[in-house]
Structure formats: structure tokens, C-alpha cells
Structure 1
Amino acid sequence: MKLPVPARQMLPLLGITVSAFVFNTSEFMPIALLMDISRSFSQTEAETGIMITVYAWMVAVLSLPLMLLGGKLSPKPLLLLTLSVFSIGQVISGLAPTFGILMGGRIVVASAHAIFWSVAAPLAARLVDKGKSPFALSMVATGTAVAMVFGLPLGRVIGLSLGWRMTFLSIAGVTILALIYLFFVFPRMENDESFSLGDLPGLFRNPAISIIFGMTLFFATSYFTTYSYIEPFLHTVAGFSAEGITACLMLVGASGFLGSFVFSKMFNTYPHAIILIGAAGLIVPLLLFLPATVFWPLLLLLCLTMGVVSTLYGVAMQSEIIRHLSISAAPVAMSIYSGIFNVGIGGGTFLGSTITAAGGLPYIGLAGGLLAAISGALCYFRYLPILRKK
């Protein structure tokens, strides 16, 4: 079977894909093991759950300064160092005797996360020939989709069978194997230019990049306003069984494969359409979330659409950042993008919590849909006109 890219490009690309898998599995793993972790430290789930919020906000705060610092290294040493720090954080988390040390371990992991998602997409695009970057970025997105479909359930099974600590230690083991693999197959690359702090204002003066940042804030907030509380919504409002909720969440994760496939096959031909679908595609599904509870197949279709749109948006925006900027500026812009996305995660989770606490659980889709409309409007009225002028 003929590979989409030469083997010398596919091998390191597979390493980045596996790394994306472990990073995404690790980010959301505490959600799947929250009850067990809270019991081991004699805490409530609410007290333990703070580490999820802290993780997201630490990524948001650390992304830019760590990328500016790490950008002084050439790509291969930076990638290997990031994986090393990530595995150390996982070991600290797995062996933590107190909740405070567990939090410290998660902050170490968040530091590695901040750098990895700043460089993963630009490096994947640089690994392949010109014109093949949509495929490379779809591979990274596939690692994310696999994590959502298989990584989280597998981690939960390990945690329930052998204890939650073994889940973190297992992730560390897989990361070390990925690190060794990349040490041998990842090519040496040099930074063609250097990016300094003084160049930073120029990123925000770039109209396309600044609009991407704005769209991302509203997109991530809209998505996580609904997704963070999709489990209680499906149970309380839609009347799904526990098995039905599990199947629905796996469908959302699996839809990432479809989104990745659509992007790799269609972005080069229909870039404007893919960008608009990504930025505005949550409006209808989220606004229909409550009405669809009377017909469960429609609700499943809406969940599938959410997953596809989320993948399309994430990969399309990363592709656009890379296209608009130089090799040295793209990772820095990606770190800002990652930070803004995590601000959206935290903001969406907080907004969903506030709405739910006020008795508005049935209306989380409405709130998310209104925010998605802002993202769609920014894309249609501000971003696409810039692209049409080029």
C-alpha cells in the first residue's frame, strides 16, 4: 500500500501522533478517575476537581512564556525535552503521597502540555512536502480522536483494576517509549529565524491572526459550556441510561476521525467552506440540543456533528496560523492559540457550572449556541473577507 507521504516523513509523523494521543489522554484522565482520586485523599469530588481547572488555567498562563523560552532550542531537542518533562510529571502524579504533590505533578504536566501543543502542528507541517500539510495536521488530530475514543476508557479500566496511580504511571511508560522512538526517527531541524519578545506585538497587529484568536475564545467557550455538562444533561434532561451516555460520549470522540478525514481530503479544495463550517458549525447543533431530547436519534446526530465541527475548527485554525506566519513565529502564535483555547475551556466550564447551579441545565445548549454565533459571525464578516483579498 502506497503511503500518503514518504516513509522518512511518515515515521516521525507517527511519533507526533502517538504523543498527541498521550497528551490528550492525560489532560482529561482525572475526569474519568475523579471519584477514586478523591477517595484516596479523603476529599469530596468538588475539592479534587479543582485540579482540572488549575490544569487548564496553568496551560493558558504558561503557554506563551514557556514557548518564548523554549523557542531558543532547535525543534528536535525541544520536542524530546517536552516529552521528558511530561513523563516526569506523570511519575510525580502517580507516586504522589498527598494531594498537594499530585497538584504539583499536574502542573509539571501542564507545563509540558503548553509547549507540546505550541510546536506539534508546526512541526508536523514542516515534516512533510509542500501541499501535504493538511494530511500531517489530520494525523495529529487523529491522535486526539484516538485518545477520546480509546485512551480515556482504557485509562479508566486500568485505574479501576490497578488503581488510579497506575494509570498515570502507564502514561509515563508510553511517553518514554515515544521519546525513545522520536530520538531515532525525528530529523534534525534548525530554526531559520529567531523570534523575540519585541516581535510579539506584530502578531496581534496581523488582522488574520488576531481574528483567529477572537474566534477561538468564543468557539472554545461555547463548546465547553455544553460539553462539560453533557453527562448530566443526557441523564437528567434527555433521560439517557448510563450505557447510552457512554455510547454518546464515545460517538463524540469517534467523530474526530470523521472530522480529521474530511479535513485531509477537502481542505486544499474547499478551504473557505471548511473554515466557515468549523467556526459556525456549532450554532445549529447547540441551539437544537434541548428540542432534540424528544427524539434521541437526532440528539445523537447533534453530538456527532459537535465532534466533527470541533475537530475541523481546531485543525483548520492551526493550518491557517502556520500559513499566515513564518517558521519562527508560528509556534509562538500557536502557544497563544493554545492558551486562549484553554481560557475558553475554563470559561465554558465555569459558565456551564453557573447555569446548572441556577437550575438552567436544560439551557446549556442555548448558551453555547449563542456564543458559537459570535464565533461564526467573526468568521463570516471579518475573517473570510481577509482571505478573499489575498
Structure 2
Amino acid sequence: MLALALSAFVFNTTEFVPVALLSAIGDSLHMKPTDVGLMLTIYAWTVAVASLPLTLLTRNVERRKLLTAIFVLFIVSHIVTGFAWNFTVLMAGRMGIAFAHAIFWSISVSLVVRLAPPGNKSRALGMLGMGSSIAMVAGIPLGRVIGESLGWRQTFLMIAGVATVALPVLRMTLPKLQSQQTGSFSSLPVLFRKPMLASLYVITILVVSAHFTSYTYIEPFIHHVGHESNARITYILILFGSAGIPAAICFNRIYPHQPGQFLQACVFAVCACLLVLFPCALSIVTLSVHTMIWGGAIVCFGLAMQAWVLKLAPEATDLAVSIYSGLYNVGIGAGALLGNQIANGFGVSWVGTFGGVVGGLGAALCWLALRMYGRAHPSVH
């Protein structure tokens, strides 16, 4: 589980580190930072399109062997990204990383649950979430520091180096695991006939789109709205990620007892944070408090959604999580694209407001879906 948490750290760092390097990449490639943000859209939508077919194609491959192949592709693609001489080559490397990402997140959630001792599934998911959170705390801000001091290319090459270290650790610690309950094409109609599961998928798209409408452009937002220095922008990014660690602990303690209320609270918290992002950004004190709540809420949302998906689809866990991962990335891409349009059309200061409106739709659907599910399953709180 620790090795998989380390892997989650590596994968989450590389997915979101461009958020901290938009200006540096833009200056190097002679592009506006908001246009560079579209690389998150391309990356995320590649993951979205690839998740389901790649999961089905690899469903019979032994899991340790599959993870080894994923890491090799991941490392090679980072080397291509690190030496990219234009935006096209940069995106070719990023798409290779996206293919590795698509498979990793489709199988890692069910793997940690399989490896967890009996009665510790929530704790296992929390550990995986902790790896993701540490990426936000250390990986992304460190990537920004490296990018500012040595150049953004060195950030991606160093991620390749960390992955090269993580690969043998994973091979030494992970036992051979044959695929189980991965699902097949015949499982798809069964999954989508579950109203709560289908609702969760739509909620995922809405809430994640809302979040990334703002988070993708948080660097130029803080710079232009709050007029903060580069050091303070790095500080805010660290603060955002550090909130994920207590959030993972909170999930482990509260979610098992109140899964419905916990999910609903997370969605409403994310929505509220987006709506008040602009006024909170006018002071570093209010922005700091806001960032802690926002960062914790989005981490708890992701953990709660994964736990709900596993609970609702025990007969096809990899397939259900693959669909969730793909739709999560649809949301990332849609949010980055929407934020780009808002920033260019209305100004970067409006990304939180528009994101909050989209999030409000997700919050309303979440309330309705949980209410209907509660009526059909009175034991769920």
C-alpha cells in the first residue's frame, strides 16, 4: 500500500505540476499562460478517452507486470516532455503520460482495497489519498521551485528520475496479483442501470469541472487579483496541498459512519469556496484560510466518490473506477477549457464565480441523488 501511495504521489505530481509552471512554459514557448493551460485539457481528455478501452484491453494482465509496463511508458514520456522544443512535442510526451495515468488510476484503487487487511478499506483509500495529497503539498510546489530556478524542463526530467526509483520499489513490495472483478463490456449496461452510480458520474463531471475552472489558473489568478509575489503563490500552492493530509484523516474517521452526509458536505464546501474565491483573494490571510478549506474539501470529495463507486459496483470494480477516472478527467479538461474562455473573455478574476455556478448544479444533483438513494436504502445516512 505504501508503494502504491508513492506511485500516486508521482502520478498526481505530474498531472497537476503544469498548474505551477504555466508562466514559465508560456515564456519558453512564446505562449500566453492561459493558453498553456489548455495542455491540462488535452491531457485530461486523453485520459478520459483512453481509460475505459485501455482498462478493458489490459483486464487479464497480471497487475505487477501491468504496473511495470505503465511505469516504463511513464518514464519514457517524461523524457520526451523534458526535451520538447515546441508545444506539439510537449503534448506528444504528455499524451504518453496520460495513457499510463489512465491505466494506473483504473487499477490502483481496487488494488489497495485488495491489499488492505479486513475492515481497513477506508484506511487503505486514505493512504492512497495521502500520496495524492503529498503530491499537492510537496511535489507541485517543489516542481514550481525547480522550474523557476533550473527551467520547467528539469521539473519533468526529475519526475522521470523519481519514477525510475519508484519502479523497483513497487516491484519488490507488490506481490503478484492476478486481475479480479475487473468487469467486461457486458458489465457496462449493469453499471449504468444503477441510478445512484450514474448520478455520481454526472456529479463528478460537474464538481470537477467547477473546481478546475479556477484551480487550473490559480497561479495567474493570485498574481493578478491578489497582486502577490511568486514566493506567496508557492506558499498558497503548498497550503492547498497540505490541507489534503488532515482531509484524508477526516475521511477515514467520518466517512464510514456517515457516507451520504460526508459526500454532500464536501460538494457544498467546494461550491462555496469557488463562489467566494475572489473576495477571499484580496487578502493573504483570508486567502490562506480559504485555501485550506478548499484543498481539504476537494480531496475529501475524491476519496468519498471512490468509496461510493467501489460500494455500488462490487462486481466490476476496475471498470467502474475506470469510468469514474475517465469522467473525472473529462471534468478536469472541461474546467481548464471553461477557465481559459472565462479568463480570455471576462478576465481571470471571474473564474471562481463561474466555477461556483457549475458547482452549484453538482451540489443540487448530489442532494437529490442522495435523498432518493436514502429512501431506497434507509440504513444509509
Do the two structures share a fold, i.e. TM-score over 0.5? yes
The whole-number CA distance in structure 2 between the counterparts of 1:258 and 1:144 is: 13
Q: Could you tell me how far apart the structure 2 residues matched to 1:164 and 1:363 are?
A: 28
- Once the two structures are superposed, the pairs formed by residues 262-281 of structure 1 within 5 Å of their partners are 262-281=250-269
Gaps of 5+ in 2: none
> Which residue matches 2:57?
69
Partner of 2:363: 376
Shift of 1:82: 1.5
Name the counterpart of 1:130. Answer: 118
1:108 maps to which of 62, 86, 96: 96
* Residue 7 of structure 1: aligned partner: none
Aligned to 2:217: 229
Whether 1:343 aligns to 2:330 is yes
- Once the two structures are TM-superposed, the CA of residue 365 in structure 1 deviates from its matched residue by 2.3
Matches within 5 A, 1:242-281: 242-281=230-269
Question: Structure 1 residues 229 and 160 mapped into 2: Cα distance closer, same or farther (>3 Å)?
Answer: closer
Change (3 A) 1:164 1:373: closer
Displacement after TM superposition at 1:256 (Å): 0.9
- Structure 1 residues not aligned, in runs of 5+: 1-12
Q: Which moved more, 1:314-323 or 1:82-91?
A: 82-91
2:175 paired residue number: 187
Count, aligned residues = 377
The CA RMSD over aligned residues, in Å, is 2.4
Partner Cα separation in structure 2 for residue 165 and residue 318 of structure 1: 33
Stretch moving more, 47-56 or 66-75: 47-56
Q: Which amino acid aligns with 2:142?
A: L
- Please list the CA deviations of residues 79-124 of structure 1 after superposition, one character each: whole Å capped at 9, or x if unmatched: 2222222112112223445554332221111100011111111111
1:59 maps to what in 2? Answer: 47
Distance 1:235 1:102, change over 3 A: closer
1:354 aligns with 2:358: no
How far apart, CA to CA, are the structure 1 residues paired with 2:371 and 2:62? Answer: 34
Whether 1:213 aligns to 2:201 is yes
What residue number does 1:141 align with? 129
**Counterpart amino acid of 1:86?**
F
Decide whether aligned partners of structure 1 residues 169 and 284 sit closer, same or farther in structure 2, where only a CA change above 3 A counts: closer
TM-score when normalising by structure 1? 0.88
Which moves more between the two structures, 147-156 or 26-35?
A: 26-35
Aligned AA (1:348): G
Look up the match of 1:310. Answer: 298
CA distance in 2, matches of 1:283, 1:353: 19
Label 1:387 to 1:186 Cα distance change in 2 as closer, same or farther (>3 A). Answer: farther
Match 2:310 to one of 322, 326, 330: 322
Matched, 1:30 2:49: no
CA–CA separation in structure 2 for the residues paired with 1:56 and 1:370: 22
Q: Is the Cα–Cα contact under 8 Å of residues 211 and 383 in structure 1 kept in the other structure?
A: no
Q: Distance in 2 between matches of 1:274 and 1:46?
A: 34
Output the TM-score relative to the length of structure 2.
0.90
Structure 1 residues 167 and 194: CA distance shift in structure 2, 3 A: closer
Quote the offset at 1:132 in angstroms. Answer: 0.8
Over the matched positions of the two proteins, sequence identity in percent amounts to 38
What letter matches 1:243 in structure 2?
A: A
SS in 2 for 1:281: helix
Amino acid at match of 1:127: L
| Distance change (3 Å), C-alpha of 1:83 and 1:266 | same
